[in-house]
Amino acid sequence: MIQDEIRKLKEEQGAVILAHNYQIPEVQEIADFVGDSLELAIKAKEATADVLVFCGVEFMAETAKILNPSRKVLLPVKNAGCPLADCLTPEMVREAKARHPNAAVVLYVNSTIESKAEADITCTSANAVEVVESLAEKTVLFGPDANLAHYVAEQVSGKTIIPLPADGHCPVHREYTLADVEAAHARGDAVVCHPECDPEVQEASDLVASTGGMARQAHLHQNWTVLTEEGMAYRLGRLFPDRTFHAVEGVVCEDMKRTTLEDVRRALETGEYEVTIDEEIADRARKAIERMIALRG
């Protein structure tokens, strides 16, 4: 069985497999650890294994490499990107900083390494509110997800949150509509949505949470509709087998779904694709990521 081959290769190479909550079920099952991007970043930083096989998308594997540069980090597929990350360039961040010189720059980890190098601090959907509240600055340039920026602005007081760019979004979370919330409520489900969903979806939902937050609060209801990439409904079902989690069919992140068991095996066999990063940019991005991680303490 391919799973046995992967386990053997993993042992031979001293590797661990980290997988995001949105990965396909087979990849979640073979992983040593499954989590959201904050949990995975912390795991990667603390990892003592020689090789980290990162089943997720590029910016997550880069974050792992930045936080633990002496490890070999492998991304099993080359073209697992993130359209949200790609909608913000470092030039856009520099221009915004020039326009708002007293503002702090908070970038979602779903951003390129070059943009992170321009940030004061990064955040994930799990800690965005905490990160913004930790800042002395009253004005915050927040990117690249405008819906997450809206969510943060609703949760914190005394700060002006400026989304950067004005309409950055995740194409997957934008697919959920009010009609999805209404259909879920009509069948008696509680609705949890990700803060990357549109504001009207957030307002109509019973709970807005990161995927880590969804796992922590799943005990609150028996039957849920989960408005985030469908991999999370699988993950929640594994964590809480006595509850039901409906996903909206067909709303998938193609980049997250690219990684297959064959890719994981090939990565371990060939060492492809190793994540390498420009040291100067990595050093600057590391400061912003480490500042976020330090808040956890």
Dig out the tokens for 144 from the structure. Answer: 């690249």
Q: Which of 184, 180, 176 is nearest to 245 (CA)?
A: 184
Q: Whole-number minimum distance, CB 227 to ligand MLT, in Å?
A: 11
Q: Using CB under 6 A, which of the segments 91-99, 136-144, 161-169, 205-213 binds ligand MLT?
A: 205-213
The one among 9, 24, 28, 37 contacting ligand MLT by CB under 6 A:
37
* Distance between CA atoms of residues 107 and 79, nearest Å: 22
- Under a CB-based contact definition with an 8 Å cutoff, are residues 224 and 244 in contact? yes
Candidate residues 111, 125, 127, 259; the one interacting with ligand MLT per rule CB under 6 A: 125
Read off the DSSP letter of residue 274: B
| Residue 24 contacts residue 231 (beta carbons within 8 Å) | yes
| Closest separation in Å from C-beta 40 to ligand MLT | 7
Q: Judged by CB, which is closer to ligand MLT: 36, or 180?
A: 36
CA 6 to chain centre: 25
Q: Is 198 in the site for ligand MLT (CB under 6 A)?
A: no
DSSP 221: -
Q: Which of 97, 169, 194, 265 binds ligand MLT (CB under 6 A)?
A: 194
Q: How far is CA 272 from CA 56, 73, 77, 126, 265, in A?
A: 14, 9, 8, 30, 10
Q: Count of H helices and E strands in the chain?
A: 15, 12
Cβ distance to ligand MLT smaller for residue 22 or 273: 22
Q: Is the peptide bond before 199 cis (omega within 30 degrees of 0)?
A: no
Query: How many residues sit close enough to ligand MLT to count as binding (CB under 6 A)?
Result: 10
221: number of Cβ within 10 Å? 16
Comparison of 10 and 195: residue with beta carbon closer to ligand MLT: 195
Residue closer to ligand MLT (CB basis): 76 or 212: 212
Sequence-ordered list of residues with C-beta below 8 angstroms from that of 270, at least 6 positions apart, any chain: none
Paired with 50 in beta bridges are: none
Q: How far is CA 93 from CA 90, 111, 191, 282, in A?
A: 5, 11, 34, 17
Q: Which of 35-43, 94-102, 173-181, 275-283 is the region at the interface with ligand MLT (rule: CB under 6 A)?
A: 35-43
Among 111, 210, 225, 259, binds ligand MLT (CB under 6 A): 210
CB of 95 to ligand MLT, least distance (A): 26
Both tokens of residue 125?
């959907």
- Of 31-39, 65-73, 111-119, 133-141, which segment contacts ligand MLT by CB under 6 A? 31-39
147 binds ligand MLT (CB under 6 A): no
By CB neighbour count within 10 A (0-12 exposed, 13-18 middle, 19+ buried), where does 114 fall?
A: middle
> Is residue 124 within the footprint of ligand MLT (CB under 6 A)?
yes
Parallel/antiparallel/unpaired status of strands 207-208 and 139-143: unpaired
For residue 139, the minimal CB distance to ligand MLT (Å) is 24
Which residue, 164 or 226, is less far from ligand MLT as judged by CB? Answer: 226
Residue nearest to ligand MLT (CB): 36
- Which of residues 205, 211, 225, 259 is near ligand MLT by CB under 6 A? 211
212 touches ligand MLT (CB under 6 A): yes
Residues that bind ligand MLT (CB under 6 A): 36-38, 124-126, 194, 210-212
